[in-house]
Structure 1
């Protein structure tokens, strides 16, 4: 990577340090913010289970649960029991997909995702064990133990989103859902010439839990990358409380699904919640931000850059395997993925769902409730496409990753 210099903005009168794009924002040497404080009611330190460092997960056994042969046989039996009911696949739930032995393990995953470290990988289910239809029923059956409510992911009601490369035309190939490259955002004045390589961490809109079915992995790259939002919060609270104030301000100008303003960081019912995607705030070359709406301010750009820098510094990289099911707390953790290369034998293909557990789910801030309500509205149409479909079936969204 190039080491082109750029400037880190600091308050007036402070010395401006020149760093390189291979460095991170050095918050420990930032000017003391003695005159600034955290927003009213925000905690000075979080002591949740979602506060972690990647070194805690050097051993995959700390977050990967391997299915036993007995577990697989039980899944086979549950699949046959459900199919004997002659129901549509989207009607599978924990009552008609019985897992008396594996179920308690899945309940433990649900608790860990909501109240523990915030993520888990379920491994060992061979991709050729089932046809596509049966594999989807098993995925839905397992996730019904993690979070029983399934959420729409766009305005046409798509419940499944296929995250896979699509080189059929330039526009599709550059979209975050179908690109093999790192995600590209518009450069701010604080970023150098290599800022187009920025890989922004984010959360998905309108989801408590992200669930992924791994149908295949890339020939190289494509790792799933996580960062603890609560660890990021603690570092900011200790070193740059002014950034927390900026993130929690209500004037962030989102472009989708329409122009509106809200915070990207919330302290709600004793929970600290992140909810944002950088593309919806700054746009990019292929999805430019409308000129008729306000742009983010220099202070907001700095806050996003610092947030992403800490996440990058403390990232956890996860190498998925075909057949893996991957669950993430979308309110406490930030995520992104690496660029990747497919070949004739390996084409990265994840199927993503948005979920909510009504018993364990976190209370949603008022500013976000209308989006959750729309995604969960049982009166609205649902579309279930178990294979990738043309763009007309899956409208591309600026904020989808």
Structure 2
């Protein structure tokens, strides 16, 4: 162990031949209602920084920031400065993790994540540069300059979630977080920004895949505006975290926001929907399938490297993971956090605000597992285990 301790061109500006929905999606997707206009109060077209196609990022230097040796020395110095204060690990912030030079880069990235293309990767920190505890402090310290609020990810207060295969039993292995299968496009619940630390990559596969929700919206405006009405309707029956109904598409405070996970709407063999709650309608299923089809047509596949830290605007972009295979030496392992920047963060729709309030409630208990096993905690109090 070493010392341990841009606005993108809009889809609506692209010249393209008129195509039918059958041509586009590869199946017959005839509209079942009028498609002449978008719903009242919903913008006809988006021209935001989050409107992009994968072709615009063929050159990865457009979204990868390679840390220099000077940057890494500054991070090492910030780590030592924080550790010298003998503070609990979850108290790291800008005031005690000083980055006088790198903070300008991170501030620009925060702006771009919220108001530009919506994602970035910090690359160059070797995966074995720090011990696990120090690695987490550095991860949190960097985050404090991008999105300083940390959000609970479940009812028991987990702040860190380990996205890694778990073959210990069949049910766990089919959970989207712990499976090795391809999963459909989605957003995470209750998060503005997703922060990921890549501890290791798979032996093969496992690419991180993004799609612009705003580009998906513009495609729907062009060929199936009736689907927008379906997405914005308040009758989507979510089973998680408890049964509730709400839209999956919002136009709020001038922003278009997607918020949905397919598992919460349809379940699967190992996580079935309770029979006591309604199922999605055929029209809602069609809408989910069309979203996923457009996302696949415009997907950006990213090959992660050990040590990468990446951030994603969870309100504007959809993401998924490719199928992967681990072996004895390479096991895909991402650490995920849910984040919010109070200055740059988007205004949250009323239908979602209750979930955000719970995730951000500072009076609720927090759990910090720095490894997948529950006995390994990030110390919230000095001397704890």
Give TM-score scaled by structure 1 length: 0.86
Q: Secondary structure at the match of 1:128?
A: coil
User: Is the Cα contact below 8 Å between 1:51 and 1:231 reproduced in 2?
Assistant: yes
Q: What pairs with 1:350-365 in structure 2 (closer than 5 Å)?
A: 350-365=334-349
Counterpart of 1:352 in 2: which secondary structure?
A: strand
The superposition leaves residues 181-233 of structure 1 with CA deviations (integer Å, 9 ceiling, x where unpaired) of: 223xxxxxxxxxxxxxxxx1000000000000000000110000000000000
Q: Which ranges of 4 or more aligned residues in structure 1 deviate by more than 4 Å?
A: 16-19, 29-36
The corresponding residue for 1:134 is 134
Match of 2:234 in 1: 250
SS in 2 for 1:146: coil
Return the alpha-carbon distance in structure 2 between the equivalents of residues 17 and 52 of structure 1.
Answer: 20
Aligned to 1:113: 113
Partner in structure 2 of residue 9 of structure 1: none
Q: Which runs of 5+ in 1 are unaligned?
A: 1-15, 184-199, 394-401
8 Å contact kept, 2:213–2:317: yes
The aligned counterpart of 2:8 is: none
Structure 1: how far apart are the matches of 2:134 and 2:178? 25
| Aligned-partner Cα distance in 2 for 1:151–1:62 | 28
| Residue equivalent to 1:24 | 25
Partner of 1:387: 371
**Closer/same/farther in 2, CA of residues 305 and 31 from structure 1, 3 Å limit:** closer
**Paired residues of 1:44 and 1:237 also in contact (CA < 8 A):** yes
1:44 alignment counterpart? 44
- CA distance 1:63–1:35, shift in 2 (3 Å): closer
The answer to whether the 8 Å contact 2:166/2:179 transfers is yes
Aligned to 1:306: 290
**1:98-142 deviations in whole A, cap 9, x for unaligned?**
000101000011011000000000000001110000000000000
The 5 Å alignment of 1:286-365 reads 286-365=270-349
**Closer, same or farther: CA 142–326 of 1 in aligned 2, 3 Å:** same
Q: Report what 1:232 is aligned to.
A: 216
1:143 aligns with 2:127: no
Paired residues of 1:225 and 1:336 also in contact (CA < 8 A) = yes
3-state DSSP of counterpart to 1:75: helix
Match for residue 398 of structure 1? Answer: none
**Which blocks of at least 5 consecutive residues in structure 2 are unaligned?**
1-19, 378-385
Deviation per CA, 1:235-262, whole angstroms, max 9, x where unpaired? 1011111000000000000001111100
Query: What residue is the counterpart of 1:59 in the other structure?
Result: 59
For 2:329, what is the secondary structure of its paired residue?
Answer: coil
Residue correspondence of structure 1 range 171-250 to structure 2 within 5 A: 171-183=171-183, 200-250=184-234
Aligned residues: 358
Helix, strand or coil for the counterpart of 2:190? coil
CA deviation map 1:305-337 (0-9, x unaligned): 111100011100000000000100000000000
Q: Could you tell me how far 1:37 is from its partner in structure 2?
A: 2.7
**261, 271, 277: which one pairs with 2:245?**
261
So what's the TM-score if we normalise by structure 2?
A: 0.90
For residues 371 and 359 of structure 2, the distance between their equivalents in structure 1, rounded to whole angstroms, comes to 21
| 1:247-303 Cα distance to aligned partner (Å, 9 max, x none) | 000000000111110000000011000000011000000000011000000110111
